[in-house]
Amino acid sequence: MNPQLTRRRFIKGVIFSGAAVTTGTGYYLANAQTGQSAAERLVTLNVNGRSRPVDVLPSETLAYTLRYKLDLTGTKIGCNRGECGACTVLLDGVPNYSCSVLTQNVKDRAVTSVEGVRSANGTLHAVQQAFVAENAPQCGFCTAGQVMSAVALLNSNPRPTRDEALQAMSGNLCRCGAYEHYLNGVMRASGQIV
Amino acid sequence: MTTHLGFDFTPPDVEGKVSGEIKYAEDYKRDGMVFARILTSPLPAGRVANIDASAALRMDGVVGVFTADDLPPSPPPGNPTLASEYVTYVGQPILVVAAVTEEIAESAIDNIRVDFERRDFVVDPMESLTPGGKNAYPEGNVLIRTREEGPGGTPIIGAEIRDIKWPQSAIDAMRNGRNPVDGEFTTEWAFGDIDAGFAESVAVIEEPFVTMGYPHHCLEARTSMAYWENGKCYFHGSSQSQSANNNGLARMMNIDPGDLVFINEATGGGFGSKIGPYPIMAVAGNFSRMLNRPVQLRITREQEFYIGSARSGMQGWIKIGVKEDGKVAAVDLVIVNDGGSTGGGSGNSSAGHVTITFQPENMRYRGISVYTNTTPRGAQRGPGENEMAAVLAPITDKAAAVVNMDRVRFRRANVIDSDGVRSQSQSGVTSAFVREALDQGMRLFNWNERINQPKRTGNGNKVRGRGVGIGYHGAGSRGYDGLVRIGTDGRLYIHSGVGNLGTYSYAGTCRAAAEVLQVPWDRCEILRGRTDNHLPHSSGQGGSNTMFTHTRTNWVAAEDAVNKLKEIAAADLGGSPNDYEIDGERVFSSSDSSQGLTYAQAAQRAIEMGGRYSGMEYPDDINPITQRAVQGIQGTGLIGVSKDNIPGQGQPPGNVVGFTEIELDLDTGKYEILDYAAVADCGTVIHPTNFMNSMRGGAVWGVGMANLERHVYDPQNGLPANTGLYQSKPPTYLDVPTSTRAAAVNIPDPQNPAGCRGIGEPTQGASVAAIASALSDALDGHLFNTAPTTTDMIVNHLAGNSYSTQSLKTNTF
């Protein structure tokens, strides 16, 4: 998958892959109609480098599992339908909207949420430090998703141009409009603003 | 010399935001918690005839159903928490189901049968005013204020819904861009003599306009969770405000405010929709008490569209008379607001914006806010002012052109200054330096040179436009309380009842206390975010008012602490308090600095001395909320507490001017914002980096209003067509300029000891106005008179299609 995931690319991808972007009643009915046993539902996820056994319903989204079963509430659900990017996490290093990814489909993937990007000694990731320096978050509800998209970008492209950064971040909505400060944060984290 | 004001610092919650560790309401769980979900109305208007929840209640795991019958009656048009007799928009909450899992709660919704009786509905206010037009409520379409004489001559102020219809002649006039002479209004005011003003004008301009309502769409939907413990309700909610919520939220649960612990560490956006307790907040606490279990009520994105409030749209007409010297002599203004199901129009504020911008000697305003069967309307970032700025800017440009004046100089000649007056009251302001902002902005943007550059630059079929705009909003209040404590560890604890909207003004205002007491920032701690942190009475975190209001409260509380430090030192070391001063976290003799006490020692002495020094006594004039807060910390250190009684008068204004250059593609109607520069008149900038973020965030909101965001309702069925973020189209990274410039006049406001005023709201007004001005400039003065002006409108104009400003409607296209 292209690491520079934009919302448009993502939505296209979901449509063409047939993946479920579910919310509300349809999601729960889908679960009710399955006959999956408890043994089949129990999966072990690789989340932030740790093995996490968890009981996962067949149509359960990764955002739901992270927030409500693994207590990783740093991942936010802003829209629950692939529009805002607040729930962005990394799957094998690639940003994905976790509200639109089925947990059962990521059993063999490395999941990284915002709780997993600090260094082992607890130091904030360079992106997080840069966002602090730029005072980038306003309300902060989109911030975890912004962090994850920026981390993915800099992992694949350590010194992006401002336009490359803009494109890479464009799948993350910020209702407060703090885009310029997040973008400055990406450039700062890449060492291009000091 | 200041050490805190005007310097960058990191607000304490920023790290929690970038690490994901800070908690929003939905991030909390509680043992035994059940999950509640809403059933909403599929109809735009009607009543609930019957609810049969028996099948749902028989489901394993369903623990209860909560309906309007479980709450006090809410007469129309009260925006009830749960609707019953008056269903007035699609998506209105009808009932709530709670179950042990979210899955069961959602499934239970499908097993509830609700019988509705349909009623007529209307989604456009002008349609409702038309003879024979439908009404949003059975009783009528307009709320009017009533006044009756009560016992002993005391007036009884009330309100009632009335059915107002305009004669067809007034409807036709409005739809054709003329003065609706015989239309009926609910608000009318005037000053001066507009006929005389127009008579002395050398040019008179008349224009119609329409602006669209649109949802706030806070990224955090308004989820709440509540539980009861030891007789108290613990309420996790999403709110812009903290202490300002206490009384209203307690009333919703019919409890004493002292029995409420409201917890609100962070809020995922509010933009005016979460200033005070909003109706759905009544569910979690009351349902939890009924079930005797913690209840979390999670709101979906679609439900947030429905109940999350929206800006009021408006249709209007304006007539402006301009004298030969470019001064606006008279204004005649008509506004019909689309009030949605709650009637919340902002026409009066729109008229206020006109008075700020033009300072007319003569003006008349006539307004009416009409109910429609669309989502509830309420305050949204500069309500009234910002949408007025959007349509007024190109009209102002036209006025400047008829008297052959530069557009900036025309604004400079008319805009308010420190001696100016505002709105219907024609009352004063604390200070205003908009002219200085315009001058600074012209230099920053290089206006004089850029407006003389060619519009066509050889970049395909593209043309450039340059624009200027003014944003304004009242930005401050008075009379709230401040509370600080010096602990026996010598640290300064600043208790803030300000909410955490994301503006960081809760932290910026605390810098005033640190400044007065000269305490290093790393020796200060802000206590906030939950009532049991003992928080004082504070203003609602809205209306751009926090910076002015709470630098003052923290200032006076800290001054009270300074006075007590000196009194304690004098009592222990001799002399009078005036013989002492403070520095380096010590209070010491002015004549011998070795004679003194550390703040830690003074705090210990305050506890020993008791009385007002340790909060055992407090001023009579502080609010009961603050009294409870002081009682919670009394005897724990030196307490500084005071009501803001700083003398002064007039409204503190927040003013921003914006300059922009756009490049419009004449083939597609799409435009790119090439440059945006803005200058604020907000007094002293307290926190520079955050000031920049506020300016830029507001500019992004201006892009949304200028080009993208609007309600769209199907007039045949009353259904909203764009409930999601993607359809409502808040600006993304790709829609906005991401290298903008911002600056401040930075002249202190004389009525604030820290010198500051607020700035959050006019940032949007300046941006949208500048963009609208630039678009008009690019098209040689064409007036769309709309907000937003969408790409399809521009294409239609360029194609010579029959697009016009006639018959414009709110909500529908």
pLDDT band at B805 (very low <50, low <70, confident <90, very high): very low
Give chain B's end-to-end CA distance (angstroms, integer): 58
Looking at chain A, which residue has its C-alpha nearest residue B267?
A139
Tell me the C-alpha distance between B105 and B38, whole Å.
Answer: 9
Contact B103 A73 (CB under 8 A): no
Q: How far is B799 from chain A (nearest CA, A)?
A: 29
From the list A29, A135, A173, the residue facing B725 with the nearest CB is A173
Checking if the pLDDT of B145 tops 90, the result is no
- Cβ atoms of residues B679 and B521 within 8 Å: no
- Cβ atoms of residues B566 and B599 within 8 Å: no
Chain A contact set for B698 (CB, 8 A) = 177
Chain A contact set for B14 (CB, 8 A) = 131-132, 135, 137
Mean pLDDT, chain A, rounded, equals 86
Checking if the pLDDT of A17 tops 50, the result is no
Three-state DSSP state, B555:
helix
Checking if the pLDDT of B127 tops 80, the result is yes
Tell me the C-alpha distance between B629 and B617, whole Å.
Answer: 12
Contact B219 A178 (CB under 8 A): no
Mean pLDDT is lowest, of A16-20, B68-72, B186-190, for: A16-20
Mean pLDDT, chain B, rounded, equals 96
Q: Give the list of residues 6+ apart from residue B141 with CB closer than 8 angstroms, or none.
A: B122, B128, B129, B133, B135, B161, B162, B163, B164, B370, B371
Tell me the C-alpha distance between B422 and B352, whole Å.
Answer: 6
Contact B689 A134 (CB under 8 A): yes
From the list B106, B692, B732, the residue facing A25 with the nearest CB is B106
Classify residue B96 by burial, with Cβ atoms within 10 Å: 0-12, 13-18, 19+. buried
Beta sheet of A88-91, edge-to-edge order: A50-55, A42-47, A110-112, A88-91, A94-97
Three-state DSSP state, B73:
coil
Q: Is B481-643 the same fold as B313-476+650-798? A: yes
Mean pLDDT over residues B599-616, rounded? 98
Chain B contact set for A135 (CB, 8 A) = 8, 10-11, 14, 504, 689-690, 693
Cis peptide before B167 (omega within 30 of 0): no
Tell me whether A33 touches chain B (CB under 8 Å). Answer: no
From the list B26, B266, B730, the residue facing A175 with the nearest CB is B730
Q: Give the list of residues 6+ apart from residue B19 with CB closer than 8 angstroms, or none.
A: A74, A114, A115, A118, A124, A128
HEC assignment per residue over B386-426: HHHHHHHHHHHHHHHHHCCCCHHHHHHHHCCECCCEECCCC
Asked casually if ipTM beats, i.e. exceeds, 0.90, the reply is yes
Helices and strands in chain A: count of H runs, count of E runs: 8, 5
Looking at chain B, which residue has its C-alpha nearest residue A77?
B220
pLDDT band at A4 (very low <50, low <70, confident <90, very high): very low
Q: How far is B775 from chain A (nearest CA, A)?
A: 22
Q: Please give the share of chain A, as a percent, with pLDDT higher than 70.
A: 81
From the list A113, A118, A138, the residue facing B502 with the nearest CB is A138
Tell me the C-alpha distance between B774 and B666, whole Å.
Answer: 14
Tell me the C-alpha distance between B528 and B256, whole Å.
Answer: 21
Checking if the pLDDT of B496 tops 80, the result is yes
Number of other CB atoms surrounding residue B372 within 10 Å = 34
Contact B724 A81 (CB under 8 A): yes
Q: How far is B174 from chain A (nearest CA, A)?
A: 35
- Cβ atoms of residues B321 and B219 within 8 Å: no
Chain A contact set for B266 (CB, 8 A) = 139-141
Q: Which of B23, B35, B219 to mutate to test the interface with A (most CBs of A within 10 A)?
A: B219
Tell me whether A15 touches chain B (CB under 8 Å). Answer: no
pLDDT tens for residues A58-117? 999 999 999 999 999 999 999 999 999 999 999 999 999 999 999 999 999 999 999 999
Contact A175 B219 (CB under 8 A): yes
Tell me whether A173 touches chain B (CB under 8 Å). Answer: yes
Chain B contact set for A76 (CB, 8 A) = 24, 219-220, 268
Classify residue B647 by burial, with Cβ atoms within 10 Å: 0-12, 13-18, 19+. exposed
Tell me the C-alpha distance between B278 and B224, whole Å.
Answer: 11
Chain A contact set for B103 (CB, 8 A) = 28, 31-32, 57
| Nearest alpha carbon to residue B441 among B463, B465, B471 | B471
Tell me the C-alpha distance between B339 and B140, whole Å.
Answer: 13
pLDDT band at A24 (very low <50, low <70, confident <90, very high): very low
* Residue whose pair of structure tokens reads 């998506």 in the numeric block: B91
In CATH, which of 3.40.50.10490, 3.30.70.1350, 3.10.20.30, 1.10.3720.10 is domain A7-116? Answer: 3.10.20.30
pLDDT band at B804 (very low <50, low <70, confident <90, very high): low
Domain boundaries, chain B: 313-476+650-798, 481-643
The DSSP secondary structure of B286-336, one letter per residue, reads HHHHHHTS-EEEPPPHHHHHHHS-BPPEEEEEEEEEE-TTS-EEEEEEEEE
Contact B696 A179 (CB under 8 A): yes
Contact B734 A132 (CB under 8 A): no
| Residue B139, CA distances (Å) to B86, B117, B119, B131, B163 in order | 11, 16, 12, 16, 7
Q: Which residue has the higher pLDDT, B578 or A30?
A: B578
Tell me whether A24 touches chain B (CB under 8 Å). Answer: yes
pLDDT band at B466 (very low <50, low <70, confident <90, very high): very high
Contact B734 A170 (CB under 8 A): yes
Domain boundaries, chain A: 7-116, 126-189
Looking at chain B, which residue has its C-alpha nearest residue A70?
B27
pLDDT of residue A159: 98
Can you give the length of chain B in residues? 813
Chain B contact set for A77 (CB, 8 A) = 26
Checking if the pLDDT of B764 tops 80, the result is yes
Q: Which amino acid is at B463?
A: V
Strands B362-370 and B328-338: what pairing?
Answer: parallel
Tell me whether A139 touches chain B (CB under 8 Å). Answer: yes
Q: Give the list of residues 6+ apart from residue B230 with CB closer than 8 angstroms, or none.
A: none
Classify residue A71 by burial, with Cβ atoms within 10 Å: 0-12, 13-18, 19+. exposed
Q: How far is B9 from chain A (nearest CA, A)?
A: 9
From the list B27, B217, B219, the residue facing A73 with the nearest CB is B27
Looking at chain B, which residue has its C-alpha nearest residue A11?
B726
Chain A contact set for B15 (CB, 8 A) = 124, 128, 132
pLDDT tens for residues B401-415? 999 999 999 999 999
Q: How far is B674 from chain A (nearest CA, A)?
A: 14
Three-state DSSP state, B743:
strand
For chains A and B, CB pairs below 8 A equal: 181
Q: How far is B328 from chain A (nearest CA, A)?
A: 35
Tell me whether A96 touches chain B (CB under 8 Å). Answer: no
Contact B502 A28 (CB under 8 A): no
Looking at chain A, which residue has its C-alpha nearest residue B17?
A140
Mean pLDDT over residues B311-340, rounded? 97
Name the token pair of A75. Answer: 């991942």
Give chain A's end-to-end CA distance (angstroms, integer): 32
pLDDT of residue A25: 35
Q: Which ranges constitute the DSSP H helices of chain A?
A: 7-17, 25-32, 38-41, 62-64, 126-133, 143-156, 162-169, 179-189
Tell me whether A164 touches chain B (CB under 8 Å). Answer: no
Name the token pair of B739. Answer: 């290298």
| Residue B123: CA count within 13 A, CB half-sphere | 24
Domain B313-476+650-798 has CATH 3.30.420.610: no
CATH class, B481-643 region: alpha beta
pLDDT of residue B1: 60
Tell me the C-alpha distance between B562 and B578, whole Å.
Answer: 11
Checking if the pLDDT of A14 tops 80, the result is no
Q: Which of B17, B223, B673, B695 to mutate to test the interface with A (most CBs of A within 10 A)?
A: B17
| Nearest alpha carbon to residue B626 among B517, B485, B488, B515 | B485
Contact A7 B732 (CB under 8 A): yes
Tell me the C-alpha distance between B719 and B91, whole Å.
Answer: 9
Dihedrals φ, ψ of B555, to 5°?
-65, -50
From the list A81, A115, A172, the residue facing B20 with the nearest CB is A115
From the list B16, B271, B738, the residue facing A183 with the nearest CB is B738
Looking at chain A, which residue has its C-alpha nearest residue B504?
A138
pLDDT tens for residues B76-126? 888 999 999 999 999 999 999 999 999 999 999 999 999 999 999 999 999
Three-state DSSP state, B191:
strand
Bridge partner residues of B484 (DSSP): B494, B640
Chain B contact set for A80 (CB, 8 A) = 300-301
Reported as type and span, the H/E element at residue B205 is: strand B203-211
Superfamily of domain A126-189: [2Fe-2S]-binding domain (1.10.150.120)
Tell me whether A30 touches chain B (CB under 8 Å). Answer: no
pLDDT of residue A33: 45
pLDDT tens for residues B46-80? 999 999 999 999 999 999 999 999 999 988 888 99
pLDDT of residue A37: 74
